[in-house]
Amino acid sequence: MFETCEICGAHEWKQAYNGTIRDGTFGSIRENAIVAKCSGCGAERLGEEWCLPESHYETGEYRTKLRQELNASSYFQGHDNLQIFALQTLPLPAMRGKNVADVGCAGGSFLDHVRGLANRIIAIEPFSEYHESLTSRGYEVYPFADKAASQNIGTIDFATSFQVIEHTDNPRQFLADIRPMLKPDGLLYLSTPNRNDVLMSLLPDDYPSFFYRVVHRWYFNADSLAQCARLAGYEVVDTHFVHRYSMGNAMRWLRDCRPTGNSAMNGLDHGTDMYWKGYLEKSGTSDCLFMALRPKPCL
Ligand SMILES: [Zn+2]
């Protein structure tokens, strides 16, 4: 079931999880799935027989699985408010007048938030349903990074890819495909769910069946993501841990064993949320992981 690691080439895997995983939204499940940890790079991988094939991202199948409507306007309703977390980690003043490419941009919510700063913007998205809307907003659209890179070699100052690498067949190749479009001093900003999410240790019997999911083939912590990036020809410039959920969210997970979002909870206020968020981000146990990468010069 687990053969050669696509990232590092190691052959040995150790089982990290065996049980129910999420298949779309909460409540939809697949049973008896296996997640294993690579002995070489430390990344965790879902067994291929439980994974959504990568080709499904070119059709509506992935979005249907997440019960999203197949048009860009409904996409915005769910994604615009998430951009604050990406924007907080980026050097926005340095992006003025620069060339930006977002890889796996979906409907382009992030790009809409930086279009006033950037010079050229390249939107890379396999799902063609979004292309007309992206083009109409002035973005240069490509389905895949290798195609975009071949026509824009060494021209991009800031590439971004948020919550995409965990879906791919081969994360190392995914990063390597982006690299040629970057200028020598260009940066790639990545984000992915953090395998060291505090709820994985607080709720070891209930949270993994939510954390592991059919649509995510790969699960990284900061060390394994950095290793993948180095193997793909980058050096790590910066790592940020970002927590997107309130303390009440964690409290309700402990009480109810289900996701409840960021709604208010009696007895907790904004101050407790900020303390909770600060603690998790300092200890590396936030729900989300951001990394800034620069191409290594000597490849
Ligand atoms: Zn590996």
Ligand 1: centre distance to CA 229 (Å): 12
Tell me whether residue 22 is in a domain: no
Question: Please, which residues have CB within 8 angstroms of residue 209's CB and are 6 or more apart in sequence?
Answer: 19, 20, 21, 22, 29
Ligand 1: centre distance to CA 4 (Å): 8
Cα separation of 216 and 233, whole Å? 23
Average pLDDT of the chain is 92
Tell me whether residue 99 is in a domain: yes
Cα separation of 50 and 67, whole Å? 19
Tell me whether residue 42 is in a domain: no
Mean pLDDT of 124-135: 93
Residue-wise pLDDT for 35-94, tens only, equals 999 999 999 999 999 998 777 767 766 666 555 555 667 778 778 888 889 999 999 999
> What range does the domain containing 207 cover?
54-295
Q: Report residue 27's pLDDT band, with 50, 70 and 90 as the boundaries.
A: confident
Ligand 1: centre distance to CA 83 (Å): 30
Ligand 1: centre distance to CA 14 (Å): 11
Residue with more model confidence, 151 or 72: 151
Residue-wise pLDDT for 220-277, tens only, equals 999 999 999 999 999 999 999 999 999 999 999 999 999 998 888 899 999 999 999 9
Mean pLDDT of 141-151: 96
Q: Are 237 and 293 in contact (CB under 8 A)?
A: yes
Residue with more model confidence, 79 or 115: 115
pLDDT for residue 163: 96
Look at residue 140 and tell me whether its pLDDT is greater than 90: yes
pLDDT for residue 74: 73
Cα separation of 294 and 17, whole Å? 33
Q: How many CB atoms lie within 10 A of CB 19?
A: 15
Tell me whether residue 191 is in a domain: yes
Q: Is 282 helix (H, G, I), strand (E, B) or coil?
A: helix
CA-based torsion, 36, 170, 174, 141: positive or negative: negative
Ligand 1: centre distance to CA 48 (Å): 15
pLDDT for residue 235: 97
Tell me whether residue 10 is in a domain: no
We report the CATH number of the domain holding residue 211 as: 3.40.50.150
Q: Are 223 and 37 in contact (CB under 8 A)?
A: no
pLDDT for residue 263: 84
pLDDT for residue 71: 63
Ligand 1: centre distance to CA 227 (Å): 9
Ligand 1: centre distance to CA 45 (Å): 9
Tell me whether residue 4 is in a domain: no
pLDDT for residue 221: 98
Ligand 1: centre distance to CA 192 (Å): 17
Q: Is 208 helix (H, G, I), strand (E, B) or coil?
A: helix
Ligand 1: centre distance to CA 228 (Å): 8
Tell me whether residue 290 is in a domain: yes
Return the structure tokens found at 42.
């430390």
Q: Is the pTM of this model over 0.75?
A: yes
Ligand 1: centre distance to CA 79 (Å): 31
Ligand 1: centre distance to CA 169 (Å): 13
How many domains does the structure of the chain reveal?
A: 1
Ligand 1: centre distance to CA 154 (Å): 29
CA atoms within 13 A on the CB side of 32: 1
Ligand 1: centre distance to CA 42 (Å): 6
Ligand 1: centre distance to CA 269 (Å): 42
Q: Are 254 and 209 in contact (CB under 8 A)?
A: no
Ligand 1: centre distance to CA 44 (Å): 8
pLDDT for residue 119: 96
- What residue spans of the chain are helical by DSSP H? 61-65, 72-79, 83-89, 109-114, 131-136, 145-151, 171-178, 198-202, 208-211, 222-231, 247-256, 270-283
Q: What percent of the chain has pLDDT over 90?
A: 82
Look at residue 214 and tell me whether its pLDDT is greater than 90: yes
Ligand 1: centre distance to CA 145 (Å): 22
Tell me whether residue 209 is in a domain: yes
Task: Name residue 35's beta-bridge partners.
Answer: 17, 46
